[in-house]
Amino acid sequence: MHILLLNEYYPPDTSATAKMAVQVAETLATRHRVTVVAGRPSYDPDEYYPFRFLRRDTRNNVIVERVGSTAYSRHQMRRRVSNYLSYLALAIPRALALRPDVILAMTDPPVAGIAGAFVARLAGRPFVYNIRDMYPDMALGGDIVRPSKWIERWEKMHRKALKRAACVIVLGEDMRERILEKGVSPERVAVIRDGASPSPSAPSQSDSIVQEIRCGFPFVALHAGNLGFYGAWNTLLKAAEILRNENTGFVFVGDGANRAALEAAAKDAPNVRFLPFRPVSEIPHVMAAGDVQIITVRRGLEGVVVPSKLYSTLAAGRPILAVAAPNCDAARIVGEAGCGLSVDPDDPSAVAARIRELRDDPGRLAQMGLRAKEAAEKYARVKELQRFPEIIERAVLSRNGNGHLGTSERVAVERPDKAKRA
């Protein structure tokens, strides 16, 4: 088959969706022809590209076509919207011109799923929707936008895209429950988790980089990742205030839309530190620096956003404090695996109590770390990725845009070896 992947971000973009898009595309390319239609790199890229209406290259058997979208910094919303709109304006006609057998859309930009469903309808081809973050739910729940007529229209269009999809692929059981509530039939919703990749051996806490990240605190509760709209940040800062005289530090490694506000709120807190993202080579040091790693999802956003760093934390064998509601996938996995504790994201006192509980029982922390490593094997990324071609092949067989499957498509699905020779 010829599979078209629509996602604005793709390496050298460094976003989480870019990193997953390349892994999904390259996995699919082991069995099928894959074309990615992306935009010019704009998400803190390792490399910037000069303007061209269309740039094409091949990476690891994946054809990557980049339309000439604007490439403003993502840190200014108006300019980011310009990137979104210029990408869609050029990507949609390009996708139609490519005439793929199936359209796979992710969620960058936030209306990429709607665009994918539109392309699939015009082309008369099956549509598969891989939801990374659920919009407009995330925009509303994260207080990025307020309820309005145009948000209602956005939600209506999104539900139509969901119903158009031959399969909706989500990141966890909590997200699956959200999708079912929108009227999608259960047999068309599949869970493929981001999963864990093998982690390098962790450095010791005496390592100089680890000590630098620990900022001199005897016990460290560490959050590594984006400081966006989804976390229970105020709860964490209030918990830090409760523990300010107990030799316990809160270290936030990363950046995001809320970082400046959080730094301002914590400017007088002696036990809170904010550090920039570390190089990829130092991720094991970041994992080792936290006596407990914090995963947080604010109440109301369960299933709207699923923190992928949960799996890298499991792979690193680190104890986890899930500051999230009980029905959040992170809290469920931590509880089932016994690799940490979960706590109400609206209760700073409970967060402080849980951290004390872990701080005062090093033996228990060590056992949780071992269980995290064991749980990582259950959620191995390579196993999760292999489900993408299987699900897409079934989707094409069961629901073509015309209700029929052509000869070339049958050959590609049923006998990929023959299709490659052809």
The whole-model pTM stands at 0.87
Please determine, for residue 407, whether its predicted confidence score (pLDDT) is greater than 60: no
Pairwise pLDDT comparison (202 vs 383), residue with the higher score: 383
Residue 401 has a pLDDT of: 44
Residue 403 has a pLDDT of: 40
Q: How confident is the model at residue 410 (pLDDT cuts 50, 70, 90)?
A: very low
- The CATH code belonging to domain 2-195+382-421 is 3.40.50.2000
Q: How confident is the model at residue 399 (pLDDT cuts 50, 70, 90)?
A: low
Question: In terms of C-beta density within 10 A (0-12 exposed, 13-18 middle, 19 or more buried), how is residue 56 classed?
Answer: exposed
Q: Which CATH architecture has domain 208-378?
A: 3-Layer(aba) Sandwich (3.40)
Q: How confident is the model at residue 411 (pLDDT cuts 50, 70, 90)?
A: very low
Pairwise pLDDT comparison (400 vs 331), residue with the higher score: 331
Q: Which of 11-20, 99-108, 242-251, 348-357 has the lowest mean pLDDT?
A: 11-20
Q: What percent of the chain has pLDDT over 70?
A: 94
Q: What is the mean pLDDT of residues 292-313?
A: 92
pLDDT in tens, 371-386: 999 999 999 999 999 9
Please determine, for residue 414, whether its predicted confidence score (pLDDT) is greater than 60: no
Phi/psi of residue 288, nearest 5 degrees: -70, -25
Q: Which of 130-144, 222-236, 275-289, 369-383 has the lowest mean pLDDT?
A: 130-144
Q: Indicate where the chain has its CATH 3.40.50.2000 domain(s).
A: 2-195+382-421, 208-378
Q: How far apart are CA 167 and CA 153, in angstroms?
A: 23
Q: How confident is the model at residue 206 (pLDDT cuts 50, 70, 90)?
A: confident
Residue 367 has a pLDDT of: 97
Task: Report the alpha-carbon angle 64-99-113, nearest 5.
Answer: 70
Q: What is the mean pLDDT of the chain?
A: 91
pLDDT in tens, 4-49: 999 999 999 988 899 999 999 999 999 999 999 999 999 989 899 9
pLDDT in tens, 79-102: 999 999 999 999 999 999 999 999
Please determine, for residue 405, whether its predicted confidence score (pLDDT) is greater than 70: no
Residue 413 has a pLDDT of: 44
Q: How confident is the model at residue 416 (pLDDT cuts 50, 70, 90)?
A: very low
Q: What is the mean pLDDT of residues 244-249?
A: 96
